[in-house]
């Protein structure tokens, strides 16, 4: 892999982008855009998946076909965010797995890791570190209401994923647990006091700082932590550079959540908005579409870096972090994929059986569930 000091400016700026596209493969226009930008990452979703072999060919082309292999990621959380169910089999949600404790979370994580490895992914946009709060839009995707329990279960999940050579990217800093609006459709406002945010919502991210190579910045407005003007946290220098990078000391790669979401594009999606995201302290900018806007954003950042030595130095810092991250990935073809798939299906059946037994137990002895939920768990409430 190239040394970052030997990259051209355009090659460096390309590494800042985490891009996606519609369909089972990039069309001619998308291929031309990707060839121009050579993005540092590719994000896939269910819309990109037709079958097992097609998916592996797709992920492989972005690793083997470029001078600098791409991070190829997907959000595979199970339940309502089960992107790979038609390739393998549906898996329970992370929330359901967490109800069975750390042993069940580890089994769940091993299944997800095996799915990602067999399909050719090297990056996992999980786990969710947001807290379970009443009426939260994130509730079906959370691990617990107790920040310490979230830290404990998430650490186990990350350990299992990392052991398979896959990068983990916890989300959504500084925590979306108290959000009542879905950031896909608009900008949530989380009006909690600063002390509560730091002691509860931010705590799981703090606990995992030294154990994860990436973190995803979320799309909510936190008046107590950032500028008064409503904007997503991922665009706030106070939250990204000030809190996550400087105060908490996170040394890994910071990637934004998807800029195509309503929380961002409702502000008016312009090329300058991508530059703002980079200037806020993010290392990578996610945009799950391939439109002319991406090329405009790419050229906007190139021009800005040419005009500013300080921004050029910031670019070098981000590129060094990204390439260091990529050197951790064993870019080797997966062997025995068919056998892996058969084993994954058996593991999914085993996990489903375990969760069903747990449900029957709670149905027969409901007080057992109440006792479990009440033991050391502090339910967070929004203020």
Share of the chain above pLDDT 70, in %: 92
Write out pLDDT tens, residues 72-106. Answer: 999 999 999 999 999 999 999 999 999 999 999 99
Burial class (CB in 10 A: 0-12, 13-18, 19+), 287: buried
User: Phi then psi for 179, rounded to 5 degrees?
Assistant: -70, 135
Nearest to 231 by CA among 242, 241, 222, 243: 222
Average pLDDT for 167-194:
96
Distance (Å, whole) CA 9 – CA 296: 16
pTM, two decimal places: 0.92
For residues 183 and 218, the answer to whether their CB atoms sit within 8 Å is: yes
Could you tell me the residue ranges of all domains in the chain? 14-374
Band of residue 301 on the pLDDT scale cut at 50, 70, 90: very high
CA 291 to mean position of chain CA atoms: 22
Band of residue 159 on the pLDDT scale cut at 50, 70, 90: very high
- Rg (C-alpha) for the chain, rounded Å, is 20
Q: How many residues does the chain have?
A: 383
Band of residue 2 on the pLDDT scale cut at 50, 70, 90: low
The DSSP-derived string for 192-216 is --HHHIIIIISHHHHHTTTT-SEEE
- Give CA angle at 77 (59, 339), nearest 5°: 55
Average pLDDT for 253-279:
95
Range of lowest pLDDT (91-100, 288-297, 334-343, 362-371): 362-371
Average pLDDT for 34-61:
95
Asked if residue 265 has pLDDT above 80, the reply is yes
Write out pLDDT tens, residues 369-380. Answer: 545 555 444 333
Burial class (CB in 10 A: 0-12, 13-18, 19+), 214: buried
Band of residue 353 on the pLDDT scale cut at 50, 70, 90: confident
- The residues pairing with 161 across neighbouring beta strands, listed in sequence order, are none
Fold of 14-374: TIM Barrel (3.20.20)
**Residue 375 confidence (pLDDT):** 45
Band of residue 60 on the pLDDT scale cut at 50, 70, 90: very high
- The residues pairing with 286 across neighbouring beta strands, listed in sequence order, are 18
Asked if residue 296 has pLDDT above 50, the reply is yes
**Residue 362 confidence (pLDDT):** 65
Residue 334, CB half-sphere, CA atoms under 13 Å: how many? 25
């Amino acid at each position: 892999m190239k040394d970052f000091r030997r990259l051209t400016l355009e090659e460096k700026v390309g590494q800042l982008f985490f891009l996606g596209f519609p369909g089972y493969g990039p069309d001619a226009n998308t291929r031309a855009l990707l060839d121009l930008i050579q993005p540092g990452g590719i994000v896939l979703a269910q819309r990109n998946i037709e079958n097992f072999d097609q998916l592996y060919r797709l992920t492989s082309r972005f690793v083997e076909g470029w001078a600098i292999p791409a991070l190829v990621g997907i959000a595979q959380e199970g339940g309502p965010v089960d992107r790979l169910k038609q390739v393998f089999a549906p898996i329970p949600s992370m929330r359901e797995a967490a109800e069975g404790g750390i042993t069940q979370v580890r089994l769940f994580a091993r299944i997800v890791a095996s799915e990602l490895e067999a399909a050719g992914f090297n990056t996992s946009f999980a786990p969710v570190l947001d807290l379970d709060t009443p009426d939260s839009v994130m509730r079906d995707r959370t691990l617990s209401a107790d920040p310490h329990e979230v830290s404990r279960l998430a650490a186990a999940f990350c350990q299992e994923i990392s052991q398979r050579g896959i990068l983990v990217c916890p989300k959504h800093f500084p925590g979306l647990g108290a959000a009542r609006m879905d950031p896909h459709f608009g900008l949530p406002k989380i009006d909690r006091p600063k002390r509560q945010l730091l002691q509860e919502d931010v705590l799981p991210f703090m606990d995992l700082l030294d154990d994860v190579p990436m973190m995803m910045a979320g799309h909510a407005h936190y008046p107590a932590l950032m500028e008064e003007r409503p904007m997503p946290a991922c665009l706030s220098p106070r939250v990204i550079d000030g809190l996550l990078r400087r105060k908490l000391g996170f040394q890994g790669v910071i990637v934004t959540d998807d800029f195509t979401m309503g929380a961002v594009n409702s502000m008016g999606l312009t090329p300058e908005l991508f530059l703002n995201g980079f200037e806020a302290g993010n290392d990578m900018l996610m945009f799950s579409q391939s439109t002319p806007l991406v090329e405009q954003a790419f050229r906007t950042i190139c021009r800005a870096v040419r005009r500013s030595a300080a921004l050029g130095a910031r670019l070098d810092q981000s590129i060094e972090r990204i390439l260091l991250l990529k050197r951790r990935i064993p870019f080797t073809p997966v062997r025995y994929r068919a056998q892996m798939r058969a084993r994954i299906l058996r593991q999914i059946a085993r996990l489903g059986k375990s969760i069903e037994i747990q449900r029957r137990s709670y149905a027969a002895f409901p007080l057992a569930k109440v006792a479990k939920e009440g033991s050391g768990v502090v339910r967070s409430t929004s203020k």
